[in-house]
Amino acid sequence: MNKVAKPTIVVATDKDHAALCTADLIHQAVSENSSAVLGLATGGTPVGVYRLLVERFQAGDLDFSDLTTFNLDEYVGLAPEHDQSYRYFMQQQLFDHVNVNRERTHVPNGLATDIEIHVAEYEKQILQAGGIDLQLLGIGNNGHIAFNEPGSAIDSRTRQVDLTDDTIEANSRFFNSAADVPRHAITMGIGTILEARRIVLMATGESKAKVVQAAIEGPAAPRNPASLLQGHVGLTFVLDPASAHLLRI
Ligand code: PGA
């Protein structure tokens, strides 16, 4: 019989506990391998995770000095110093507060002059680092993972994409207006993400409940990119009760 791997589903007691469970999974990966390669995510969801990782570093419990990191995505056209760029986010939330070697932190370059060359190089750097041991993911209201919007192919690689109107709307909360949100991004592909040894998708809040349910219990289909993770052997969802309440578990 053909056995399809089932994801591990952790339903935390609340949003803070979800951050704690996610931080514990990252902590464990680093404890197992001090030179692990971590795939990191931006957005509102992982902020509490990074806060905990910084606290654990400050307490002497975590060492980032041998780690390598790759972020999922970046807006096209934003400089690393732009306060809405994902490089800036990572510096503010994590990198500036821990002993990670900046040279081993990778975020796609939103100002790359030749994006084709840049994305091919990004894929190559991931391979040269030995692949991603643990990839952290959020999920968009439309099911996107990184900036793989609905319709993205299961074998897609790092590339430039157009953002959908609902992503622009969702992300406009961080900008002065929706008009200021970049229209394009560089994102790791779904195929790139699926090559990570472990994937931890974290979601919190009622607004994610439907899309989480569709990702886990619906058919695997490009209309919900997160559903394309189904069958990955190292997949864990960390949810709070609000985002998990439609699941039949
Ligand atoms: P959020 O974004 O964490 O800000 O909800 C998640 C995503 O769009 O992937």
**What would the pLDDT profile of 138-178 be if each residue is shown by its tens digit?**
999 999 999 999 999 999 999 999 999 999 999 999 999 99
pLDDT digits (tens, 9 = 90+) for 178-234: 999 999 999 999 999 999 999 999 999 999 999 999 999 999 999 999 999 999 999
pLDDT digits (tens, 9 = 90+) for 126-137: 999 999 999 999
Residue 70 has pLDDT above 90, yes or no: yes
Of the pLDDT bands very low, low, confident and very high (cuts 50, 70, 90), residue 5 is confident
Residue 3 has pLDDT above 90, yes or no: no
Phi, psi for 247 (deg, rounded to 5):
-70, 145
Per the prediction, the chain carries an average pLDDT of: 97
Of the pLDDT bands very low, low, confident and very high (cuts 50, 70, 90), residue 101 is very high
Mean pLDDT, residues 4-31: 97
Nearest CA to ligand 1 atom 8: 140
Q: Which residues line ligand 1 (CB under 6 A)?
A: 43-45, 138-140
Distance CA 126, CA 49 (A): 23
Mean pLDDT, residues 87-97: 98
Nearest CA to ligand 1 atom 2: 43
Rg (CA), the chain: 17
Residue 4 has pLDDT above 80, yes or no: no
Residue 2 has pLDDT above 70, yes or no: no
pLDDT digits (tens, 9 = 90+) for 108-128: 999 999 999 999 999 999 999
- Probe ligand 1: pick from 86, 139, 168, max atoms within 8 Å of CB? 139
Q: What is the pLDDT of residue 31?
A: 96
Distance CA 101, CA 81 (A): 18
Distance CA 132, CA 160 (A): 21
Residues 6+ apart with CB under 8 A from 77: 110, 111, 182, 184
**Cβ-based neighbour number of residue 190 at 10 Å:** 22
The rounded Å distance from CA 105 to ligand 1 centre is: 21
